[in-house]
Every structure is written in C-alpha cells, then in structure tokens.
Structure 1
Amino acid sequence: MEIDQPIQAGPVKDENFITKYQDAGAVVSKAFHKLAPLFVPGASVREICGLGDQFIEEMVASMYKSKRYEKGLAEPTSVCVNNCAFNYSPGPETLVNNVENCYRLQIGDVTKVAMACHIDGYTASICHTVVVTPPPQPGMGPYIGPGADAICAAHFATKSVANMISTVDPSNPVTGPRLRKLVEDIAAQYHVHVAPGSRIRRIDRYLVGQITVDRLEEGKDAKAAVEWPAPEEEEEEAQKGSTDPLDPAGDLLADLDNWHVMPKEAWIIDISMSSKPVDHLREHPDLKPTVYIHDVNVSYMLKLKASRALLSEIKEKKSVYPFHIRSLTTERNLLGLKELVDRHIVVSHPVMVASPSTLIAREELTVIAKPNTSADLFCLTIPTPPSYVKSDFSLIEGTDAYMFGEGMQSRVKMVSLE
C-alpha cells in the first residue's frame, strides 16, 4: 500500500503518529471503495457489513507485524437505511423465527455505510451516504426530494467544516461556536435539520469519543467537541453570552479559554442531516444490539464461567473500541454476555432510529489540521462525491457557508488508494 509523500511529524511523543493515521486512513478508505459497488437492489446488509470488516482485517494483517502494535477494526461496519441513524449491523443468525434476519437494500434507499480502522490506537473513520438505484437507464434522472436535500446538506457541511479547520490562524481562531453556526447555517439553507449524534470532535490515540474510556494523557483538555444536541452547559453559556451584546470580545475570550483548533490535531467530522426535525433518536424496538464496547472503568466479580471467559477475550483482543458479536470466537462465550451487560462491564450500542417518515443522510471524515507548514489540511479518509442527487436548494452566496463550501479553493492532502 503506497502513501503519498509521508508528512514529517514535529517534536511529539510518537514521531510516527501521522504516518499511522495515514495508514489507518488508507485502509478504511480502500475498504469503503471496495464496498461501494455492492450497494445494489437486493443486496444483503449482513453480507456487506461482514465484507467491510473482512477487508479491513485483511489489509491491516500485512502492516505493522510486530506484536507490540494493536491494529484492526475501530468500529464494526454498519449499514443504516433511511430513518435508521446508527449501529445497524445484523448478527450472525441468518434466520430468526424462520424470518431472514437482515435487511435487503431496495431502490431509493438512503443508505449510510460507516466503518473505522486503527493502527496502534490512531484511528480513521469514514461514513458516506449512498442512494440505491437501479441499473442506469437512458433518461434516468437524479434522486430528488427531502432525502436529496439532506444528502447535499451533509456533503457540504463536512466539506465546509474541513475547509474551516484548514484555516487554523491565531488571529481568527476556529472555535466551537463558529463550527456550530457553520453547520446549522448549511442545514437551514437546505431546509433540513442537524440530526442528533452529529459531532465535530478532536481525537487522540485510542480516544475517539468513547464515553466509557478515561483519558490516557494528563494535562490536556479531555473534550474539545461540538455535538448535537448541544450539551446543557453549552446552552447555558450561550444564554449568558447573549445577555451582553456590548461585549462580543468577551464571548471570544471565553471560547479561547475553552478550546480552539490547533495545528497537528486530529479531528472527526461526523454530520447527519434529517429531512424532518428530530429531537432525539430512539432505540429500535425489535432489533437487538450486536455492537458492544468494554467499559474499562467498571469491575465486578463475575459468577458465570462463560462471563469470565468472554471478558478475558474482550480484554485480550478488543481493546477499547466497539466490537461486533460475530467477532467473538466461541458461541459458549456469548452465554456470558448478558451478565457483562447487566453489570455494566460491557455497554451495548443499540440500533438508533428516527420516525419512519424521516430520512437521514450522514457523512464522516477524519482530518489533521495543518500537519506541517506547507499543507492546510490532511484528510485521512477520502471524501466521496454524493450520489446522483439534485436539490431544489443551494448555498447562498455571501455567507460563510458558501465561502467554505463552494467559494474556497482549499488545498487538501489525501492518502493514495493506489
């Protein structure tokens, strides 16, 4: 696997950290592009998810062969359709109550495929929305309607945020409020809504937003993120700031005391747009979780031998990242899963959905802000053009959304897939 012009890292704890980010990004991007042709009517979501995980595992097997390097999946491949937002990755059972236990893609499905890879704890994630279409036919037009609006908004939001992060400048810092306003303005211009679960988050080694993992490095702000819905404390601060219109500089200073984007930081840009307002996502009432994560902060004296065996396997092979139950080695170990979940040692990632009439589009990239003086942005996961869609709306000229989404000629460095 070849990588375009390796970037020379500065004086950091691990001088190879950008190279490892590069390699993780190349793996997950290549795996995604191998999956892309499979999104056709009638395709099995289970088979697509299994192949996505298989592609990543096969590619990382030939890299960093020393046993001291952890590597592999950082997020099991998931394929979420229409109103489904996160974590649909069917289990290994082909039949449940004599009914096929997975969804098959249909024409017109707004389909989100998400996957992630890590090498030595340095993580690259990707998500892209695909519209399932029939074989091309003469005169076939683009996909239109609210789903197309959401797809366009998600595409331009991730692109605009990446361009804004690329403009790291001490005289005009990129802060949380600026990023939030940019995304919400794009949603408004496309007449859609930012869906819950969207985030723009600084990441670090082994730390990509898992709520169950303590920070491994001291002396650094544990959370630099913009999330939707906004945390209560952020809304309270915004209300306080809005009461003093005569002191706009005060708000800026408060933001700088909190956080702003700095060079050589890695960021996840993960934006979901919905065709209708969504106050909160809910767990699917029928689909059982298949993705779990080990909460390293919780310990308990387990009673069942199967539970202890399963926990040993998770500690040895699953690290701090989410894992799929199909990756566990023995069916017997699965018998201990219930006790681990009941004792909160393992936390489930349930399938999250909006109302059936809502269409959700999602785009996710992983980037590094100004990795050296000659580059504006290093994009670890390859931005993919949207499906053949057409929206009745567009970005409004003269706005920041238009400048960062359309009017800015950004210099973005990306990994090679050759």
Structure 2
Amino acid sequence: MSDTEEAPKTAAAPAAPHEVDYTIANPDTLTKYNSAAAIAQRVLAEVTKAAVPGASILSLCQKGDELLEAETAKIYKGKKIPKGIAFPTTVSPNDILTPYTPIASDTAEAALTVKEGDLLKIQLGAHIDGLPGIVSDTVVVGTPTPEQADLLVATHYATEALLRLMLPAEVHSNIAEEKPYKVPTSYVITQTIQKIADVYGCKVVESTTSFAIDRNEIEGKKKIVLAPGENMAKSEGTPEVGEVWGVEIWLSKGSGKVKELPGKRATLFKKTDNKTSLKRESARKTYNEIREKFGAFPFGLRQLSDERTAKMGVVECTRSNILRQYEVLGDKDGALVSRVYVTVAITKSGITKIAAPPALDLEKVQSEHKIEDQELLDLLSLPLKADKKKKKKAAAKKDE
C-alpha cells in the first residue's frame, strides 16, 4: 500500500467488560465470601473430628485439602469463576505456633501422629472468585488439662475483645450509643488483650497480626499488630465500614517471644509481587505451577505436582524474593501456644463473623480464673452488631 492510499478501517474496539464490584456492598460478593466461609467451617469440623490419637498430621492435612477441593467444585458449576483453596490445611501441635503442613517426601515429618492430650492449631480456607473464607481453631485431643483450659478460655475472650476493639467509631456509637468514641490505638488494643491474657497466666505472642483482606489477597495493606517486636512491622490504618478482615489471636503459656524451631522445614509459601529471572529449570517449572494454581494465596509444597522438584525449585524462588516462606515458629520457652483466626465483615450495623471456629463451650472447658475488671467485662458484653429492634423503638420515641 502506497503512502497515499487510505488505510483500511479497523473494526471498532469491543466495549470494556463491565467492572465487577468486589466490595461487600455488592450482595453477590458477600454471597461468595459466605459460600467460601461455609465450606471452610464444614471442612474444619471434619478435620477436627478426624484428629484422633494415632492419626498422622500429614493425613489430616491431605484430608482437609481434598475436602476443600471437592466442596468448592460443587458450587458455581458451569461458570468461569476461579475457586479452590485459599489456605492449605495445616495442623500445628503443642508448641508449634505457625501453620504447619508436613510433606510426604520427608519420612520423619510424614510419621508425626496425633497423641492423646495434644493441643492442635488447625487452619484452612476456601475461596470463591478470589474471595476467601479462612478459619483457625485451637483444640485439645481429649480432656484439657488446667493449663490448656486456661489457654483456651483466654484465647476465646481475647478474640471476642479484639473484635469489639476493631469496631469503627460510627458503628460503635450505633451499638453502644456512646458519643464521642475514640478508636483505640494499637498500643491500647495490645494492653487490653494482654490484661485478659494476664488473668489466665498467658502472654500475647509478639507481632500477632490481623490483616485487611482483599480479593486474591489475605494480607492487605491495613493491619493491626499486637505486641510488635523490635524492628518488626507496626500497625497501619484502622478498620472501616465495608472492609473484610482476617482477625488473629496468638497466645502463649510462656514468654510470648518466638523462635524458629530446629529441624522443622518451611513447607508453606506465598507468592510475592517481586519479579526476577530464574536460572534453574526446577525453579522456573515450580514457579510457573505456583502462579497458575495458587496466585497470591499461600500453598504447601505437597500441593505441587512433583514434591521433590518443588523442594529444589522453591530454594531459588525464596532467595530471589519472589516467594516468601512461612518459617515454623514456636515459643522460645517451648511452651504451649494457641491460635485462632476469624474472617469478619464490617458493615454499618457492626461486625459479622463470616468464618469462625465453633464457640468455645465454657461449661465443658473451665478455668479456675475469672475476669473481674469491670472495663473488660463491659467491653466483652458489648454486642458486635446494633440491635435493629432497639433502634426502631428509639426512632419511634424520637418521632413522638
């Protein structure tokens, strides 16, 4: 074609696809969060039930993941919606604090079994369309000892207190009908949670962190850090209406200081936003599979198609900072530790637990200690959501 010839007309560009609203203001988004959460809670119940003396920790993790995959496959059939595991099943016994998921190719890890009296932290999660429901519970295999009971009761009340301390000012005013209300600082939040822990002889574990959750991201920019350690991340931002959060409580019967546990391989990883060129074939192959299968959600080595290749591949990926590994941590004193994770939605009416462990049965699990501080009791008695009937009555009286 010469310079003077008219260029052929191209077809008009297709209209941009309708942008999906992934905030919880969209009922469809909330439905997906709730669907993922319901699956996570059902699977947590099944794994907890299977955690009996003699069961291998590896088999419990495998069972949980199989159920998560099977349950998510049942919904939104025929629709091009990504779904699956948002957090692989992890089972951390006794002094192991962080999520732990052994691998079959490590004989010693694969042989670990549940024992009578073990204190287990079980965590897992599902996602629908990148919207995750994650949950963690701390359970005792058998009858809790007095020390275990103290830890369980303290964790229960600490979690309930933290949720109430996260209420935005506008929401708190609707619920408590107190004005003005000053949102507590992270220091005040830590002090309050530690007061509860003190009653039961526990410590808040250093740098316990709760994150805001976004689509395809369980560790958003906003975070609440309890008892931040030296040179460690601090809290950023405050919870607001319209947000989803992953709320965590970590408590210890020891010092609350953590250390990396010797002889425990890091088997849990998460992709970062960093980019690099990988040299080894095993690293490239592993990273491509990670990117396709898991996106930015955490994953365990055992979820990859070739566990042995993956063990080699993640080494370069971690050194290059395109993967972050979750070290296996425990209390420096080797003490018992607990962990609870609740996924919550913050709305104008209050905080809703989307995914949460079963409520602790305080009739069966009892401590000889009791919270007597009136400020703490008032905090714990505060509802998480406004009473609509009370609000209607108050409005009607105002109109009279």
TM-score (norm 1): 0.76
Determine if the alignment matches structure 1 residue 207 to structure 2 residue 182.
Answer: no
Code of the residue aligned with 2:191 in structure 1: it is K
Instruction: Name the structure 2 match of 1:248.
Output: none
CA distance in 2, matches of 1:105, 1:356: 22
CA contact (8 A) 1:75 1:322 kept: yes
**Residues 392 and 331 of structure 1: CA distance in aligned 2, closer, same or farther (over 3 Å):** closer
CA contact (8 A) 1:39 1:130 kept: no
Instruction: Name the structure 2 match of 1:158.
Output: 159
CA contact (8 A) 1:152 1:391 kept: yes
**Residues 72 and 227 of structure 1: CA distance in aligned 2, closer, same or farther (over 3 Å):** farther
**Residues 325 and 232 of structure 1: CA distance in aligned 2, closer, same or farther (over 3 Å):** closer
Tell me the percent identity.
25
Instruction: Name the structure 1 match of 2:249.
Output: 271
Secondary structure of 1:160's aligned partner: helix
TM-aligned CA deviation for residue 110 of structure 1:
1.3
Determine if the alignment matches structure 1 residue 62 to structure 2 residue 38.
Answer: no
CA deviations 1:35-55 (Å, max 9, x no partner) are 221122222111111111111
Instruction: Name the structure 2 match of 1:353.
Output: 330
TM-aligned CA deviation for residue 112 of structure 1:
0.8
**Residues 234 and 354 of structure 1: CA distance in aligned 2, closer, same or farther (over 3 Å):** closer
CA distance in 2, matches of 1:277, 1:225: 21
Code of the residue aligned with 2:39 in structure 1: it is V
TM-aligned CA deviation for residue 191 of structure 1:
2.1
CA deviations 1:362-385 (Å, max 9, x no partner) are 111111122x5xx43211113413
CA contact (8 A) 2:270 2:325 kept: yes
Code of the residue aligned with 1:313 in structure 2: it is E
Structure 1 unaligned blocks of 5 or more:
1-8, 134-141, 210-214, 216-221, 236-254, 414-418
Determine if the alignment matches structure 1 residue 382 to structure 2 residue 356.
Answer: yes
TM-aligned CA deviation for residue 293 of structure 1:
1.6
Determine if the alignment matches structure 1 residue 402 to structure 2 residue 377.
Answer: yes
CA distance in 2, matches of 1:369, 1:383: 18
**Residues 290 and 11 of structure 1: CA distance in aligned 2, closer, same or farther (over 3 Å):** closer
Instruction: Name the structure 1 match of 2:145.
Output: 144
Instruction: Name the structure 2 match of 1:343.
Output: 320
Determine if the alignment matches structure 1 residue 297 to structure 2 residue 298.
Answer: no
Secondary structure of 1:336's aligned partner: helix
TM-aligned CA deviation for residue 154 of structure 1:
0.8
Equivalences for 1:114-193 in 2 at 5 Å?
114-133=123-142, 143-166=144-167, 168-169=171-172, 171-177=180-186, 178-193=188-203
TM-aligned CA deviation for residue 404 of structure 1:
2.9
Secondary structure of 1:200's aligned partner: strand
TM-aligned CA deviation for residue 15 of structure 1:
5.5
Equivalences for 1:106-117 in 2 at 5 Å?
106-117=115-126
TM-aligned CA deviation for residue 295 of structure 1:
2.1
Instruction: Name the structure 1 match of 2:37.
Output: 25
TM-score (norm 2): 0.79
> How many residues of Structure 1 are paired with residues of Structure 2 in the alignment?
355
Instruction: Name the structure 1 match of 2:99.
Output: 87
Code of the residue aligned with 1:340 in structure 2: it is C
**Residues 195 and 91 of structure 1: CA distance in aligned 2, closer, same or farther (over 3 Å):** same
CA distance in 1, matches of 2:58, 2:252: 25
CA contact (8 A) 1:176 1:226 kept: no
CA distance in 1, matches of 2:338, 2:66: 25
CA contact (8 A) 1:129 1:386 kept: no
Choose 1 or 2 for highest CA Rg: 2
299, 319, 322: which one aligns with 1:323: 299
CA deviations 1:232-284 (Å, max 9, x no partner) are 5998xxxxxxxxxxxxxxxxxxx9xx7433222112211011011132x2222
CA distance in 2, matches of 1:100, 1:164: 39
CA contact (8 A) 1:121 1:206 kept: yes
197, 206, 231: which one aligns with 1:196: 206
22-31 or 356-365, which deviates more: 356-365
Code of the residue aligned with 2:330 in structure 1: it is V
Structure 2 unaligned blocks of 5 or more:
1-20, 174-179, 388-400
Code of the residue aligned with 1:24 in structure 2: it is A
**Residues 196 and 73 of structure 1: CA distance in aligned 2, closer, same or farther (over 3 Å):** farther
**Residues 412 and 200 of structure 1: CA distance in aligned 2, closer, same or farther (over 3 Å):** farther
CA deviations 1:126-167 (Å, max 9, x no partner) are 11111111xxxxxxxx52333321211111111222234457
Secondary structure of 2:31's aligned partner: helix
TM-aligned CA deviation for residue 286 of structure 1:
0.9
CA contact (8 A) 1:143 1:390 kept: no
CA distance in 2, matches of 1:90, 1:11: 35
**Residues 296 and 14 of structure 1: CA distance in aligned 2, closer, same or farther (over 3 Å):** farther
**Residues 342 and 199 of structure 1: CA distance in aligned 2, closer, same or farther (over 3 Å):** closer
Q: Which of structures 1 and 2 has the larger relative contact order (alpha carbons within 8 angstroms, sep 6+)?
A: 1
Determine if the alignment matches structure 1 residue 16 to structure 2 residue 21.
Answer: no
